Amino acid sequence: MPKMEQAFHLFDTYNKQDPSRIIWDGYQYPSEYFYAIQLYEWVKKLNPEASEPLLLASRCQHIGRWEINRKTYPEGRVGYLKWRNDLSGFHAQKATEILQSVGYDADIITRVKEIVLKKRLKTDAEVQTMENALCLVFLTFQYDDLIKKHTEEKMINILQKTWAKMSAEGRKMALSLAYSSAGQMLLNKALKDADQ
């Protein structure tokens, strides 16, 4: 089996351990496994010529995310940022261990880590592709659930931050998605406010 397929198998096997579940189109999946597959698919849509490190990174971007619980960190922005930073390091380390186990060389592993850690966002095209894909996964699969949990003001803020992370290509793809009526209304408001 080629190294990339071995790595995908190990990433997927790890993510299938996620105790949380998502139901999509009537089927139930371990959440992080499902999101990893969707992220991989979005990366391929955004860049049909995606490099091996980018494809590898897309499949392990949030590997084992459930193992570091947000509730173990203080509430508020400082606690949130510390949690996100620690998670990124954990994902990069876990990816490194798996990639080493299937025989990848240091150059490939370093590049995968750079993408997973989102180094040089906005100036590194592959990192930006990953960011676009992450935003599109959010808008496609998580956005409507979040609408039920937050105020309109909070959702508009989230959408504006999401929009700011994306490149023109990512935004164009986001505008082509089919949204619920509530989702479309909030997106329209967020973009209108952002233009002012």
- Residue-wise pLDDT tens digits, 140-159: 998 988 898 888 888 898 99
Provide the pLDDT for residue 127.
94
* Phi then psi dihedrals of residue 21, to 5 deg: -125, 150
* pLDDT of 74: 87
Q: Structure tokens of 144?
A: 């409507």
Q: How far apart are CA 167 and CA 129, in angstroms?
A: 8
Output the six-digit token pair for 178.
Answer: 């089919």
What is the reported pLDDT for 196?
Answer: 40
pLDDT given for residue 145 in this prediction: 87
Residue ranges in the chain modelled with pLDDT below 70? 193-196
The span from the CA of 129 to the CA of 142, in Å, is 19
Query: pTM for the complete prediction?
Result: 0.90
pLDDT of res. 80:
87
Residue 76: per-residue pLDDT: 86
